[in-house]
Structure 1
Amino acid sequence: MSNRTMHAAVCAALTCGWLMAAAPASAALGGAPTPPPVGANASSLGPVAHVASGAAGASSTASYTVTQTTFASGTVVREYVSAAGTVFGIAWGGPAMPNLPVLLGTYFSQYDSAVNALRAARPGRGPLLIELPGLVVHSGGHMGAFGGQAYVPSALPAGVSANDIQ
């Protein structure tokens, strides 16, 4: 085996191993929370009881949990999980962008298509404001300081608004 062939085989094996190590066991947005990768610190911010007043003065309580993961890069990702165990929103902030294909799960293809259409219509840089009927993603920042949020509008628990996902 030549050095070039051996180098290609080693790179392929390392890349394949890296991809398998980085891939979570489940999807995030719209699914179960993602397990934290090796080297990340995860903590539960506990159940949140959110009280909202209705038009007639009645109030309703929505309960959800927030799981916060701090990656080795310093980026913090919060997953908002409904009482049924489904992630309805995520928020991130820090020096590096999180792995959006993993965090958005099955919604990533919608996001990617919307980003490509947006960039084709408006080339250049700037914040992303993707607002589709089934997915909302706001993302922006610059090298060393990124932030954003994503949520499924129809999955927001009663009494919870997009402003609660931070």
Structure 2
Amino acid sequence: MKAPKQSRHGHLVGALAFVAGALSAGAAAPAYAVLGGQPMTAPQGASSTSTNAVARAAVASGASNASSTSAVNYTVRTTTLASGTVVNEYLSTEGVVFGIAWHGPRVPDLASLLGSYFPQYQEGLKAQRAARGGRGPVSVQGSGLVVDSGGHMGSFAGSAYLPQSLPAGVSASDIQ
């Protein structure tokens, strides 16, 4: 018995199913930092540099002769993605990501970077776009999440951080 001939449509459907399967298998490959979670595992094609400990002076308030103590209270880990975009992760002494900054030719996958904070970002972005239109830099300022992003084709930069998780002596301007 002869197998029935497949129409062009049948070949197209089969090819599309194959491509969709290949894409979904590759979709799990990128792994980024998750704000409020663990640092990223460098995705395929990315390179990471060693962590750099950063010391900030914590100054006692209210004293006229304020003394300062120096302690390492966060580290910065830099990863260059295959796209050329550089992502800096800011980790607390417990190893939790409290801030992320990026710059390069492409905006990184913010859904992966922001993790469970991504819906909050989307809501803030939607409100901002409704208020002033769909173009221009993004600035989402919430009590639990701050995201600033902007740029133009080939040159983007931004940052995201959790205000409540900033270590003592660390300010928003330190996340760059």
Pairwise TM-score range, normalised by the shorter structure: over 0.9
- Residue identity in the other structure for 2:56: H
Once the 2 structures are TM-superposed, how far is the Cα of residue 143 of structure 1 from its aligned partner?
A: 0.4
Structure number having the greater strand percentage = 1
Q: Are 2:47 and 1:41 equivalent residues in the alignment?
A: yes
Q: Are 2:24 and 1:16 equivalent residues in the alignment?
A: yes
Cα RMSD after superposing both structures? 1.5
Name 2:175's counterpart in structure 1: 165
- CA distance in structure 1 between the aligned counterparts of 2:139 and 2:118, rounded to whole angstroms: 15
Once the 2 structures are TM-superposed, how far is the Cα of residue 59 of structure 1 from its aligned partner?
A: 2.3
Once the 2 structures are TM-superposed, how far is the Cα of residue 129 of structure 1 from its aligned partner?
A: 1.0
Name 1:68's counterpart in structure 2: 78
Contact 2:33-2:89 at 8 Å conserved across structures: no
Once the 2 structures are TM-superposed, how far is the Cα of residue 62 of structure 1 from its aligned partner?
A: 4.8
Name 1:84's counterpart in structure 2: 94
For these two proteins, the number of residue pairs brought into alignment is 164
Aligned match of 2:118 in 105, 108, 125? 108
Once the 2 structures are TM-superposed, how far is the Cα of residue 45 of structure 1 from its aligned partner?
A: 3.5
Structure 1, unaligned runs of 5 or more:
none
- CA distance in structure 2 between the aligned counterparts of 1:27 and 1:98, rounded to whole angstroms: 11
Structure 2, unaligned runs of 5 or more:
1-5
- Which structure 1 residue ranges, 4+ long, deviate > 2 Å from structure 2? 52-56, 58-62
- CA distance in structure 2 between the aligned counterparts of 1:41 and 1:76, rounded to whole angstroms: 9
Structure possessing the higher relative contact order (Cα contacts under 8 Å, 6 or more residues apart): 1
Name 1:7's counterpart in structure 2: 15
Contact 1:62-1:160 at 8 Å conserved across structures: no
Q: Deviations over 1:13-38 (max 9, x none)?
A: 1221121222x2x7511000111101
Normalising by structure 1, we get a TM-score of 0.92
Matches within 5 A, 1:97-136: 97-136=107-146
- Residue identity in the other structure for 1:58: S
- Residue identity in the other structure for 2:109: N
